[in-house]
Structure 1
Amino acid sequence: MSVADRAALVVGATAVGAAVARMMADAGARVALADDDENKLRSLLPGAAGTGFSGPVLARKMDSASDARLLMSDAVASLGGLDILVTAFDVAADDEFLSMRAEDWGRVLNGNLTRVFLVCQAAAAHMARQQYGRIVNVAARDWLGWHRRANYAASKAGVVGLTRTIAWELIGQGITANAVAPGWIDDERSAAMDAEVVGEALQMQPIGRLGSATEVAGAVLFLAGDEASYLTGQTLYVDGGRSILSSLTA
């Protein structure tokens, strides 16, 4: 995919975020990885758990518009520009709807949605000045709704709606905005889940297995490349066919 020599900022030190950063770097992009959790970033450095992302890492807060603007300024300084933004936040606090605490609702909405708004706004301001940009937000198939995930579903539905609105408003400024909606993937969160829960999920996967962060990253790479220049405001499902059944079981 044509991301060679592009400057890309990946925000979110998750399994998907790390896979995107590595894949873009392998494709010739100049890539920085950012998160507000320095320990997560350290775990992705070369030699840590065999990962091996070697680009610049930025441990920065993202709680306000000024935080986001500072992050973009640091990214531009580190990369020599900013052409691509990928957000890959994945904050969860699952519970039954009637038992869910307001604190957990707010934490997930802030972590998965408000931070996406802030960094997209700051990045888009830079992209608009150069009349070029690619924004790819990692949502989730669960934006369609799932039990014990009211906060998570709402946050990811917000990401989809936000992405479509960004695409609409910035379509005349050389900027595209799209979302990727992964299904269940084999990562640290699924590994920590009860085997029975994972087995139940697999029964509803037409492909019969969990996905990988690398498979999600491939979709992100496509949307960030020039081959996808006529594609904006869309949500690409990478879920092993699970969304085929959504009208029946979601």
Structure 2
Amino acid sequence: MKRLLRIAAFCALGFFLSTVALTLLLRFFPPLTSGLMMERRIESWFSDEPYQRHYQWTAIEKINPALGVAVVAAEDQLFAEHAGFDWKAIEKAAIYNQKHKKTRGASTISQQTAKNLFLWSGRNWFRKGMEVYFTVLIETLWPKERILEVYVNIVELGDGVYGAEAAAQYFFKKNAAQLTSSEAALLAAVLPNPRVYQANKPSSYIRGRQRWILRNMQRLGGKSYIEDLPE
């Protein structure tokens, strides 16, 4: 029994040290891929459907700040204030989910970054526990600006389209630095389901979300919001 405990402790320590090292490495170097990208690739193998990945890492300085503000306005307006978790939103979502069949999420940008980068889709408790762990890691080891930079580079914005640069080129035929505030809001508006909605062919629902996001972008302070994030 003691031997098993020692082995378990050794494995836990090895996991902790390796994940800390990986997270520190990714603070300074761009990821070559992500857990979500690999998941989509594996899905294509089993479905026999063609899959093409569009992904091009771009430093946050070369992305129009409007996109960063847009995703914060759409997904996590308390991003600059919380330490990875929006507890009030989690409580509200839990109450809502008890009363409705269709569930509502409350994941912050930090949680989504942890999930998209390191993990896989799913709602089981083990996966959620790992999401909490990696969220704490990136909030501890990365500044807020880095979390947002990684998020806007790996977030799924279309079927096989990941990140600001790929989405700007795929949907608007321009680079991420040239995106307008309106286009940035459209990209953020599809985030509920980027494999169904398209930023370049917005439905009335997406147009409504775009207008709501643009209002929230102004309320957050516009592009100055990004400048005020800790580097």
Same fold (TM over 0.5): no
Higher relative contact order (CA 8 A, sep 6+): 2
- TM-score, reference length from structure 1: 0.23
Structure (1 or 2) with the larger CA radius of gyration: 2
Which protein is richer in strand relative to its size? 1
Q: Which has the higher helix share?
A: 2
TM-score where L is the length of structure 2: 0.24
